[in-house]
Amino acid sequence: MKTVLITLGVIALLVVAVFAFGASSYNGLVNQSQDVDAKWAQVQNVYQRRADLIPNLVNTVKGAANFEKSTLTAVTDARASVGRVTLDPNKAPTNQAQLDSFNAAQGQLSSALSRLLVVAENYPNLKSTENFQTLQAQLEGTENRISVERGRFNEAVQAYNSSVRHFPTVLFAGVFGFQPRAYFTATPGAEKAPEVKF
């Protein structure tokens, strides 16, 4: 009788312990995944901000006498292809390939834009206008914001992914359906300044 009671007690204790542990790791995972989603929304935000700047930029540059057409087309094309790769802004992607194609499209727009800024150096009349200088400052600002928010997003994903994959949270992550999230990998050549040939 006594041994039965003791066994029951031990089992009850174990159940309580497992439940408490599961609850705390579940809550931890929920917090981390919400953090990832919040940072992802921020990333989308800053990319959108850049996309919104482009019509204005294109119009300003177009006004400059015989501005190199190919540079402008590259920007508008890249802007269009960015618009085709849309990801849910409220939930960070779990599919790495999806994020990679998003990243590639955005990377193309980045290089088209920085090329445009480099080419603009050859148009002193354009460069000296207030409008262009303002746009340039805004463009540099968004690029900087993008790199900041991407960096923070990657940090959040790393923290979340390592929780999801490590023992013992991995036991609960599978049960509750927490999947590892995709993160930004550097696009090849993105760190290089664009080459401009005349």
Partner 1 sequence: MSHSSRFLRFFAGLVFACALAHSAFGQESLPPKPDRYFSDRAGVVDLETANRLNHELADFERETSDQLLVAIFQKIPDGFERDDFTVKTAHAWSVGRRDRNNGAILFIFVNDRQVRIEVGYGLEPVLTDATCSLIIRREIAPAFRQGDYARGVDSAVHAMMQACRGEYHGTGRTLADSSLHGISSWMVGTFVGILLLLGWVTRRRSYGYGRSYDTGGTWFIGGDSGSSSSSSSSDSFSGGGGDFGGGGSGGSW
Would you say 52 and 141 are in contact if contact means Cβ atoms under 8 Å apart? no
> Between residue 85 and residue 114, which ones bind partner 1 under the rule CB under 8 A?
none
Rounded CA gap, 179 and 167, in Å? 14
Element holding 117 (H helix, E strand): helix 96-120
Q: Is the peptide bond before 55 cis (omega within 30 degrees of 0)?
A: no
Would you say 42 and 185 are in contact if contact means Cβ atoms under 8 Å apart? no
Q: Is 112 exposed, middle or buried (0-12, 13-18, 19+ CB in 10 A)?
A: buried
AA identity, residue 152? R
Single out the segment in contact with partner 1 by CB under 8 A; choices: 107-115, 132-140, 167-175, 181-189.
132-140
> Between residue 32 and residue 51, which ones bind partner 1 under the rule CB under 8 A?
42, 46
Rounded CA gap, 192 and 186, in Å? 11
Is 149 one of the binding residues for partner 1 (CB under 8 A)? yes
Q: Which of 140, 166, 185, 190 binds partner 1 (CB under 8 A)?
A: 140
Q: How far is the CB of 155 from partner 1 (least distance, A)?
A: 12
Question: Between residues 29 and 50, which has the closer beta carbon with respect to partner 1?
Answer: 50
Single out the segment in contact with partner 1 by CB under 8 A; choices: 16-24, 81-89, 94-102, 140-148.
140-148
Q: Which of 85, 96, 98, 145 binds partner 1 (CB under 8 A)?
A: 145
Residues lying near partner 1 in the complex (CB under 8 A) are found at 42, 46, 133-134, 136-138, 140-142, 144-149
